[in-house]
């Protein structure tokens, strides 16, 4: 029999990896690793492996402390799909000193492009640093190296732009902008006032290309595959192709990669006739994310994503007797509560109305994404059916969601101001999670 409290090797490795990457002093690293090793017990080889990987990937945080704006000239590798802005485009790109927001005009680069850039480099703001970025580069001249041009990513960009233009045509205004944000993670059609209202309502995760989109998409695809008579490995292959295709459309951000890893690892358990283990899948996603981008350890986005999923894991593992519909409806509330201490520490307020949003709007995300996905493949003679799905189906639901978020976000009582407190005190907010965890025994 196996207890849910039993440490998993993947969890131990992730904890050690995060401890090494997150501590800047050798003594602190040892002080953090010792209790991890004691907790893991016989899984100490996993602790050792995670710590060694952390030392190999350890990065220098000094580039984040750059002096004010200075000239920049160098070569960068583009890491995300471009986002259209009023001034041109914006991507995330990386050089030897770190990862930056790169903004420019003219033809936009795509994932994998090598670009020669001349422009101005600005230091990271508090919000940008929270995303694990070293700053911003406003390009005056950008030259895309033709030797590294990727026809695949250029094609993915064309498909995404075509779908975005179709949504904008059928669902005009900010309602269409919200629909684009919920399905493709693009926010350029939403005004700053609307974005602030959405933030105050606790709905920013709905308009970002996040792991939630991938997991909802994976659940829909998994359910459809379960209706067809196919072996488990075929279901896994279909799920992998569809999720990777969706990742190509929205850009393989780290939250997207982590969610794809979680979905495929969960499904792989059925291929090998094993019971899926949510804590191990969570640990594996964290390891893969930090191995690909070690600087994520310092980003608030990484910790919000991992903490939200951790809260869901605790809730789902500790409430097996709850009806599936009830667990699905309150999952958004669980994720909101799980991230509340971090949100309060980082942003100085807590949008408590997000709990209402989780009941009224978050359940609409699945049908909205399902209708957008169906409309995206209904082209040619079937195009009018797809247009109806977008305009009357997904558009109507997005309009309702926008009205709810705007009303909640514009209320003076929408957020609770929180005075500053030290980072270590934020951990006290997670003690209630231990109360939610009920030990369950099952076959190993």
Question: C-alpha distances in angstroms, 420 versus 253, 342, 345?
Answer: 30, 12, 7
For the cut 90, the answer to whether the pLDDT of residue 443 exceeds it is no
* Of 50-64, 108-122, 161-175, the least confident: 50-64
Element (H, E) at 441: strand 441-442
Taking the model in full, what pTM does it have? Answer: 0.82
Quote the tokens at residue 260.
């794809």
> Does residue 277 come out as left (phi exceeding 0), alpha (psi in the -120 to 50 range) or beta?
beta
Q: What is the pLDDT of residue 27?
A: 60
Among 298-307, 353-362, 406-415, whose mean pLDDT is lowest?
298-307
**Residue 3 binned pLDDT confidence (cut-offs 50, 70, 90):** low
Residue that has been written with the tokens 């292959």 in this structure? 237
How many CB atoms within 10 Å of residue 74?
A: 14
Other beta carbons within 10 Å of 319: 15
Return the H-helix or E-strand segment holding 434: helix 431-436
Report the chain's mean pLDDT, rounded to a whole number: 82
Considering only CA atoms, which of 220, 188, 204, 162 is closest in space to residue 368?
220
CATH number for the segment(s) 63-149: 2.40.50.140
> How confident is the model at residue 63, as a pLDDT?
46
Q: What is the pLDDT of residue 277?
A: 87
Average pLDDT over residues 76-89: 83
DSSP percent split of the chain into helix, strand, coil, nearest 5: 65, 10, 25
> Which residue, among 119, 113, 104, has the nearest Cα to 144 in the 3D structure?
113
Q: So what's the pLDDT on residue 442?
A: 46
Give mean pLDDT, residues 210-214.
Answer: 79
- The pLDDT of residue 260 is 92
Per-residue pLDDT at 191 exceeds 90: no
Torsion of CA 299, 304, 305, 306, to 10 degrees: 90
| pLDDT for residue 234 is more than 50 | yes
Is 221's pLDDT higher than 50?
yes
CA gap 171, 174 in Å, rounded: 9
Structure tokens at 248: 């190509």
Residue 32: its pLDDT value, please? Answer: 72
- Percentage of residues in the chain with pLDDT exceeding 70? 87
Instruction: Name the E strands within 227-378.
Output: 349-350
In the predicted model, is pLDDT for residue 64 greater than 50? no
Residue 226 burial (C-beta neighbours within 10 Å; 0-12, 13-18, 19+): exposed
C-alpha triplet 387, 175, 210: angle, nearest 5°: 90
């Amino acid at each position: 029999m196996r207890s849910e409290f039993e440490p998993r090797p993947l969890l131990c490795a992730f904890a050690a990896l995060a401890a090494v990457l997150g501590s800047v002093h050798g003594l602190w690293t040892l002080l953090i690793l010792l209790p991890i090793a004691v907790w893991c017990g016989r899984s100490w080889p996993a602790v050792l492996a995670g710590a060694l990987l952390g030392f190999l990937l350890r990065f220098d945080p000094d580039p984040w402390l750059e002096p004010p704006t200075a000239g920049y000239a160098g070569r960068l590798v583009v890491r995300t799909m471009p986002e259209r802005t009023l001034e041109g485009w914006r991507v995330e790109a990386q050089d030897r000193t770190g990862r930056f927001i790169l903004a420019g005009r003219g033809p936009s680069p795509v994932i994998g492009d090598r670009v020669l850039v001349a422009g101005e480099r600005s230091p990271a703001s508090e919000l940008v640093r929270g995303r694990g970025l070293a700053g911003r580069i406003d390009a005056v001249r950008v030259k895309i190296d033709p030797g590294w041009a990727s026809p695949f990513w250029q094609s993915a960009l064309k498909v995404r732009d075509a779908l975005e233009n179709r949504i904008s045509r059928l669902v005009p205004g900010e309602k269409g902008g919200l629909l684009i944000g919920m399905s493709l993670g693009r926010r350029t059609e939403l005004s700053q006032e609307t974005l602030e209202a959405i933030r105050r309502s606790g709905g920013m995760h709905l308009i970002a290309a996040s792991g939630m989109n991938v997991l909802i998409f994976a659940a829909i695809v998994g359910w459809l595959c379960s209706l067809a008579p196919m072996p488990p490995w075929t279901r896994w292959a279909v799920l992998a192709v569809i999720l990777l295709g969706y990742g190509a459309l929205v850009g393989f951000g780290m939250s997207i990669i982590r969610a794809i890893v979680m979905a495929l690892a969960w499904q792989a358990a059925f291929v090998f006739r094993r019971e899926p283990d949510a804590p191990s899948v969570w640990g594996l996603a964290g390891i893969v994310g930090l191995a690909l981008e070690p600087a994520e350890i310092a980003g608030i986005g990484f910790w919000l994503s991992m903490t939200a999923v951790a809260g869901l894991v605790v809730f789902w593992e500790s409430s097996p007797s709850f009806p599936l519909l009830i667990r699905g409806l309150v999952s958004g509330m669980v994720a909101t509560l799980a991230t509340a201490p971090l949100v309060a520490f980082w942003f100085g307020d807590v949008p408590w109305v997000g709990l209402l949003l989780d009941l009224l709007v978050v359940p609409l995300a699945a049908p909205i994404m399902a209708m957008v996905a169906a409309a995206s493949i209904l082209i040619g003679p079937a195009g009018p059916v797809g247009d109806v799905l977008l305009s009357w189906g997904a558009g109507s639901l997005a309009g309702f969601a926008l009205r709810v978020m705007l009303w909640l976000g514009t209320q003076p009582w929408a957020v609770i101001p929180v005075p500053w407190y030290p980072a270590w005190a934020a951990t006290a907010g997670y003690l209630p999670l231990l109360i939610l965890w009920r030990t369950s025994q099952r076959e190993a």
